[in-house]
Structures are given as C-alpha cells and as structure tokens.
Amino acid sequence: MTAQGSTKDAFDAVRDEFEKGLRSDELGASVALDLDGETVVDLWGGHRDAERTSPWTRETIVNVFSTTKTVTALAILVLADRGLIDLDAPVATYWPEFAQSGKESVLVRHVMGHTSGVSGWDQPITMTDLYDVRASTARLAAQQPWWTPGTAGGYHALSQGHLLGELVRRVDGRSLTDFVAEDLAAPLGADVQLGAREQDWGRVAPVVPPGPLPFDLSTLDPTTVSFRTMTGPAPDAEAVNTPQCRRAEIGAANGHSNARGLVTLLRALTLGGAADGVRLLSEAMVDRVFEVQADGPDLVNGAPMRWGMGFGLTPVDQAPFLPAGRVAWWGGWGGSLVVVDLDRRVTFAYTMNKMGSGGLTGFDRAGRYLTAAYQAL
C-alpha cells in the first residue's frame, strides 16, 4: 500500500510511517502537517469502504467525532474576538433560559473548559434525540448541573456542541453549521463542515466501528458523573453513517473533514490568529486558549486532564507523544487528532475511517505519524 500526496524531503519519514500503517492497521486515512504556514505533509491512502473496493482519494472526508470540538471552539473564539461573546460572562447573558435549575453562575468559559456541570443529558435520552437540536438543547437548559460549576473538569462528550451551538445562534442568528461554513471554512478554503451536505455524501468514507469498549458500563455506579455522561446518551459509532446523523448538527461529534481540511483551518490558530491573509483571531484571543480551566482528574474519563479554552493542553498522560509548551489539541473517538503547536509553529491532523479500539480515544496511529514528524523537525 503506497500513500498518495506529497511530503517535503525532510518529512519522508512520515510517509514511510504512514505507509507502514496502510499495510497493517489502517483501512483508509489522511495525514497533514503545516510548518510555519507551509504544508510539508499532505498524504492519503487506503480505501473508503471495508470491502476495499473504493480508494480513499484526495477529496475523501470522514466523520472525525470529537475532533469536531476544535472547530466549534474556534467558532466561539471568533465570536468572542468580535465582541459578541464574553468568555467570562454567564451563559444566561446570551441565553436567559439557561439560568434554570441553578445554572445562573455557569460562565461561557466553563462550557469551553468542560467545567460547567452539564456534561450530558438526564435520562431518558438516545442519540437520535440529539438530531432535534432545538428540543435537545432546551433540555440542557432545563436540567440541573451534575456538579458545582467551575470546580472540576468533566468531559462534555456530546453536550458541549449543543451548548456552544446555542450561544452561536443567540448572538449571531445563524446556526453553528452555517457559521462554520460561512465564517470559518469558506474564508480559508478549508474542507470542513458540520454534518455532511447531501451533495458530498458520495465522498464520505463510512466509519468502521471498533470492538466493544474496554469497560462494561453496567459495572459503573449509575449515580456517578462518568456513568451519567457515558449513557446520556450512550456512544453509537454506527449512527454516524446514517443519513439522519449526517443531516444533523452535533457540534461536539459529527464534523466531516480530512487532515488537509483541518490543518487548513486550524493553522490560523497556530500562526497567531491568521493564515493565508485571513485573520480569524487577534493574538490576544489566541493567548486565551491557554488559560487553564481545569487541571486534575476528569470526572468523566477519570484521567488527569488540563483543559484550556476549548482545547486540551499539554502535558497529558493520554498523548505522551505531544510536547509541552504552548500546545493545544484534541482528538476523536477512534483516533482522529488535531494538534496546534504554537512554539514550533506546527499544525498536525490525522483522520481515518477504521476506528481504533483504545476506548473513546486511542491515538496510537496518530502518535506514530506525529512522532515521525517531530523527529524530522
């Protein structure tokens, strides 16, 4: 299996590592890396389908699960930079109904940093309920927080996108989907979208679900934040291949892109807020990404986490291949990953259709490719 695309000579080791992956544990995938505003790695290969009848091409896109959160966070940062949102203001300033049930003190940055106490939905809830964005978002506004807001981090696995998406609608008037398309993707020419437009379904690679989760949800204490989040609603990898999910707006989990598209968009953050002559953010707003919102054991995934403003921060146990410094990142179920490294002016992304089995993350493959890239530096 050979990779398609290009690498600068110094980064041939990334191609070598990627081709090893295509011969072993990949089905179809893409890898891209931008260094100081220049794309030095743009690779893709393998197949779009499990039967290996359709090649993964330059234009193939795929659901990137929670890597979507980096795009949604960028939307909020842009609106904050325009003065339409104050990250330190209560959510209810813009969304009065959210002040119900003891949430009047929840700040916008609490949602951005996974400390709001609204990390999931009260039961009963299913994945299909989330497709009705208005109704499911109203449910979040009505419910009580599951812990004291601002006191601890608890991964907002699916709820974060609905919460932030409602803020976009309240202050801008457009849906999160339209804002991403019109104010983020289009100006930078980035192949990134929430959900997938029906005219693009022919180039979407269906995801291949992993095996069972490496833990049994039924053994967890149903009163814990972890259980309530992981079952409210329970993750369903198969759902993202359905027309209903592709038509939906799930700002935490149903973005569609490839590595090149994500790098084209997120390198604006790496490069101080602007790329290709388009300024999305001021340097002061870029700095706010690295304001630590939570640092300690996460109430949902149990791991030590450092949450910044919409991004994970390093160092982090789950991704030891990431360097310390001004590095912001996040990834998705099955292994997709975005890394924004301001110290080294590196932006990296990896997307794939065959999900890894490392729980809700599992970044082994991305880690191999990124390690090869850092060694090349």
Spatial separation of the C-alpha atoms in residues 295 and 318, rounded to whole Å: 14
Q: Which residues 6+ apart lie within 8 Å of 13 measured at CB? A: 372, 373, 375, 376
Spatial separation of the C-alpha atoms in residues 61 and 190, rounded to whole Å: 12
CA angle at residue 282 from 284 to 294, to 5 degrees?
45
Catalytic residue among 24, 30, 54, 66: 66
Strand partners, 295: 306
Residue 189: CB atoms within 10 A of its CB come to 11
Spatial separation of the C-alpha atoms in residues 258 and 67, rounded to whole Å: 11
State yes or no: is 54 an active-site residue. Answer: no
Spatial separation of the C-alpha atoms in residues 4 and 56, rounded to whole Å: 9
Residue 305 phi/psi, 5-degree rounding, is -135, 145
Enter the tokens of residue 60: 């193939």
CA distances from residue 340 to 127, 213, 234, 324, 328 in whole angstroms, order as listed: 30, 28, 29, 12, 5
CA distances from residue 34 to 19, 133, 137, 346 in whole angstroms, order as listed: 19, 34, 36, 6
Q: Which residues 6+ apart lie within 8 Å of 118 measured at CB? A: 103, 106, 111, 140, 143, 145, 146, 156, 159, 163
Q: Give the rounded distance of the alpha carbon of 355 from its chain centre.
A: 15
353 in Cβ contact with 28 (< 8 Å): yes
Q: Which residues are catalytic?
A: 66
